[in-house]
Amino acid sequence: MLEASTFHAVFVEVLVGSFTLSGISFLLSIVFNSNLKVLDWLDKGAHLGLFLGCLVLPFAIISGTSSGSMGSSELLAKKTVYSIATLGFSIGLLVNRWKTGSDIIHSKNLLLAHSSMGILTFGLVMITGSLGGKLTRGESLLDFIGIGTTSYVAMPIWASIVSILLALSIIILPKKSAV
Amino acid sequence: MNRLPALLIIAVLLSATPWVNANPGGNGDANRDFQCGGSCHGDPDLNSSSPAIFEVNIPDRIYAGLSAEITVEVTSLPQTETGIYGAFLLTSLNANGDIPSNEGWQVSSNSNLGQTNYQEQVLTSGTELMFSWTLSNDDIITTDFYVAVNHGSVDNDLAHTGVSQPFQLTTIALPQDMPSVSPGFEPIASRLVGEDTTITIPTQNAEKVTIEIMGSQNNNIEILASMNGSQVWEFTLPQAIRESSLQWRVVVEGEGLTTTSAWYSMVSSEPTFESSSLPIILQGVGVALMGVAFTTVLHKRLNKNQTIKKQYEQTDIISNEIGSQVPNIPETGLPEGWTMEQWEYYGQDYLDGKLS
């Protein structure tokens, strides 16, 4: 009988690989922002990695929370929040790339903002992975630079619900043009 | 006919009796009356006397209402299979009603930091053990006490018991100016790892307050408390670097008198975390949706700027329109001193002779 932690390890390996491809592609997009041909390839690589990561991430979250009790482990609670946040940022990036289309590589400002968000998402994956290492081995490379070591600050349920409603209103409700 | 079943039942009950002597694995610290472990029945096949020798140390004066520590050094202990030795502090050897509390004495701590008259220790090497009890009595009273030890042996399963000579504890009235920790003082008993802990101690008639932290092999560490107000003293326990516990007590001096409190225990533990899954998941979903909203807003804003820019980018059209309206340059070229831009705007007027 395979344990949840074994599945988690498999999903995490695929996940980290996908987000690394995405993160490096986003980083290079900022560097080669004037070469449209290279940008086209980098754009495809970044979003393919992001898409694959998004597919695997829910399974990694489920297998991760099943292999421990997030209610009694501060690290696991932080890891869960970071993971779900990563999923949100990834979906946001993918949806907005799809809606914006290839125009994204023709606008330097948009490309810079979009790629920066992609790199931030990759950073969230790295912090989540670091927390996993801390949880299983008691140490992590990111300990040395002090990222992800802050204590978990639990938001009250009402605050979470307010943030969910606020976010949904921003995403769903149509906005009148100010122009 | 009825005798046979009755005999069979008795035989079964007898054979079901476990074949053990006393409690070879120990009995656990608790308030217990004297137990002879079988030796009081006088059957040499079941029990034996302990060769233990007792040296009891009691304070010169015990004041009513204040704690006093009794230490008992037990020597000549024989080796046993388990190494477990149990010690009783008793007010009689009746095996009934002989716990100190029956005479109004309260045990506030013992060697194992419990509050029981019976305690167990393990002897790993040597032949002696040190037991102690800190106790107090609010009344002025004289009470006979005994210390008894129970233990096993190596070469047989017999229970061994040894009892000290009786000794008396007498409480005397508390002097008016007796230095002591204020009654009702209850120090904090737990803290987090990595935190210094400042403890404030209210006292009475104290001129000097020293804190003793229990060290290994009776090597206690002393910290001098500093005065922080009238009869209020303060000291800081250094932080613990890992989960642990330490024991400390207060020595109060004043007017040539000294009193010592019971041992207090301070447990250092890692911060615990407890939460249900729902708030954590909701928090994650909230942050995730805020992420989606943020990226959406960012893209909309930047994309809108680009669309507006595209919409209002009319340079080519204007250039073409301007280009079509620019008058032809004369064969002699531009008028002297004119630029092309001036010609674009004023060339037609020049050709029409409107300019001098």
Contact between chains at B291 and A85 (C-beta distance less than 8 A): yes
B21-172 and B180-269: identical CATH topology: yes
Report ipTM (2 d.p.).
Answer: 0.87
Q: In Å, how far is A95's CA from the nearest CA of chain B? A: 8
Residue A36 lies in a domain: yes
**Structurally, how many domains does chain A consist of?**
1
Per DSSP, the three-state class of B195 is coil
Residue A166 lies in a domain: yes
Helix (H) or strand (E) holding A44: helix A36-66
So what's the architecture of B180-269 in CATH? Sandwich (2.60)
Residue A89: per-residue pLDDT: 92
Residue A140 lies in a domain: yes
Mean pLDDT value across residues B140-154 = 90
Nearest CA in chain A to B276: A71
Domain residues for the domain of A100 are: 4-172
Residue A88: per-residue pLDDT: 92
What residues of chain B lie within 8 A of the CB of A100, using their CB?
A: 299, 303
Query: What are phi and psi for residue B262, nearest 5 degrees?
Result: -70, 165
So what's the architecture of B21-172 in CATH? Sandwich (2.60)
Mean pLDDT value across residues B279-306 = 86
Domain spans of chain B, in order of start: 21-172, 180-269, 277-351
Q: In Å, how far is A137's CA from the nearest CA of chain B? A: 18
Which pTM value belongs to this model? 0.48
Is B41 an interface residue toward A (CB < 8 Å)?
no
- What are the CA-CA distances from residue B179 to residues A43, B65, B249, B339 (Å)? 80, 12, 15, 107
d(CA B88, CA B135): 14
Tell me which of A100-109, A145-154, B55-64, B285-294 is least confident.
Answer: A145-154
The pLDDT of residue B143 is above 90? yes
CB-CB contact of B212 with B241 (8 Å): no
CB-CB contact of B140 with B173 (8 Å): yes
> Could you identify the residue written with the tokens 């047989």?
B156
Residue B345: per-residue pLDDT: 78
Contact between chains at A154 and B275 (C-beta distance less than 8 A): yes
Residue B323: per-residue pLDDT: 55
Contact between chains at A103 and B306 (C-beta distance less than 8 A): yes
Average pLDDT per block of 10 residues along chain A, 179 residues long: 79 92 94 85 93 92 79 81 92 90 83 92 90 79 68 83 92 62
